[in-house]
């Protein structure tokens, strides 16, 4: 029997996949964590392989942004989802967002597109204009920075609580 679990770790710099093998080929488990240091020693001891994936580069971000604009704005899934009308948002504006999203993970880009959709749904007619398009990017970046700050403080507090005195 053979068992393999892939553990994905996301930091602001890379994704890391951990591979764990045991004796079963009946299923695969996938774990995700942005705090792999909190894994139990027994789990860490069973990691056989580790693979790092860099955050998306400019080319990948361009493709993801285009894909998520299509998915969440232009042709949203679901019977009740509204199509969003974009105003004054073209290749030049998208290219600017590609540059401004350096350091974003794929998940962060997906959440940004969902935030664009929510901003449009908050208007009469589901309209996303250029100003709101860029303002949403800035708000999303601030939100991500706040979350990073909270995580930093939580780690500092955890360290203070666990250090020997």
- Which sequence spans correspond to the domains of the chain? 2-54, 58-150
**CATH number for region 58-150:** 1.10.8.60
Tokens 């940004």 sit at which residue? 112
Average of per-residue pLDDT across 16-30: 55
Q: How far apart are the C-alpha atoms of 5 and 24, rounded to whole Å?
A: 11
CA 78 to chain centre: 22
Q: Which residue has the higher pLDDT, 109 or 23?
A: 109
Q: What is the pLDDT of residue 10?
A: 44
Which of the four pLDDT bands, split at 50, 70 and 90, describes residue 67?
Answer: very high
Q: What is the pLDDT of residue 78?
A: 87
Q: How far apart are the C-alpha atoms of 82 and 63, rounded to whole Å?
A: 23
Q: How far apart are the C-alpha atoms of 114 and 68, rounded to whole Å?
A: 8
Which residues share a beta bridge with 50? 18
Which residues share a beta bridge with 13? none
Q: How far apart are the C-alpha atoms of 65 and 147, rounded to whole Å?
A: 22
Average of per-residue pLDDT across 130-155: 93
Check pLDDT > 80 for residue 93.
Answer: yes
Nearest 10 degrees: CA dihedral of 71, 73, 75, 79? 100
Query: Which of the residue ranges 48-57, 78-87, 125-134 would you say has the lowest mean pLDDT?
Result: 48-57
Tokens 């679990």 sit at which residue? 5
């Amino acid at each position: 029997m053979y068992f393999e679990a892939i553990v994905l770790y996301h930091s602001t710099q890379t994704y890391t996949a951990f591979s764990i093998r045991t004796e079963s080929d009946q299923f695969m488990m996938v774990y995700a964590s942005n705090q792999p240091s909190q894994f139990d020693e027994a789990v860490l001891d069973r990691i056989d392989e580790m693979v790092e994936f860099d955050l998306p580069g400019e080319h990948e971000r361009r493709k993801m942004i285009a894909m998520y604009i299509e998915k969440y704005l232009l042709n949203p899934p679901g019977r009740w989802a509204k199509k969003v009308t974009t105003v004054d948002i073209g290749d030049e504006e998208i290219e600017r967002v590609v540059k401004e999203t350096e350091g974003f993970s794929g998940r962060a880009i997906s959440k940004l597109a969902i935030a664009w959709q929510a901003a449009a749904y908050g208007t009469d007619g589901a309209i996303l204009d250029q100003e709101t398009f860029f303002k949403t990017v800035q708000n999303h970046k601030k939100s991500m920075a706040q979350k990073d700050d909270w995580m930093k403080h939580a780690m500092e507090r955890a360290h203070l609580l666990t250090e020997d005195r």
